[in-house]
Amino acid sequence: MAEQTAKKEPAKKKVLVADDDISILRLVEMMLSRHGLTVITARDGEEALQKAILEKPDAILLDIKMPKLDGLALCSKLKHTKDTANIPVGFLTAAKEVESYKQAQELGAILYVTKPFKPEKLIDAVGLLLSSRGQSPKL
């Protein structure tokens, strides 16, 4: 009798999404899950930092305005923490000020998508984040 070798499915890519708006979190989670991604959610910056260190996602998508730790401060902590420094970070935010964009860029964020967003733009943005792991392209 011939042995069958079990084929291992490739591990799903994990994306951490942090936003204090539960409706945005659920919408983004649904969209990314439909594209075969595992989505980890957080409702504030401190929770997102803990989950990033514990889960080691393949990419992180942050809102800027969140309780406990805003997205810019969180991005800085992520980039200065050994276990998370190489995880690509992007922003999905309502903050349209040029200063926020510049700060995100200076902190090493790879992309900056403003709300409201088109679903295909978000999917493309997350694809860019996932493909940039280990690199540090600019916005």
Quote the pTM value. 0.87
67 within a domain of the structure (yes/no): yes
Domains contained in the chain, number: 1
Domain span holding position 82: 25-131
Please compute the mean of the pLDDT values over residues 65-75 and round it to a whole number: 96
CATH code, domain carrying 70: 3.40.50.2300
73 within a domain of the structure (yes/no): yes
Q: What is the pLDDT of residue 93?
A: 92
Q: In whole numbers, what is the pLDDT of the chain averaged over residues?
A: 89
103 within a domain of the structure (yes/no): yes
62 within a domain of the structure (yes/no): yes
40 within a domain of the structure (yes/no): yes
CA–CA dist 69, 8 (Å, integer): 39
For the segment 98-133, what is each residue's pLDDT rounded down to a tens digit? 999 999 999 999 999 999 999 999 999 999 999 986
113 within a domain of the structure (yes/no): yes
139 within a domain of the structure (yes/no): no
138 within a domain of the structure (yes/no): no
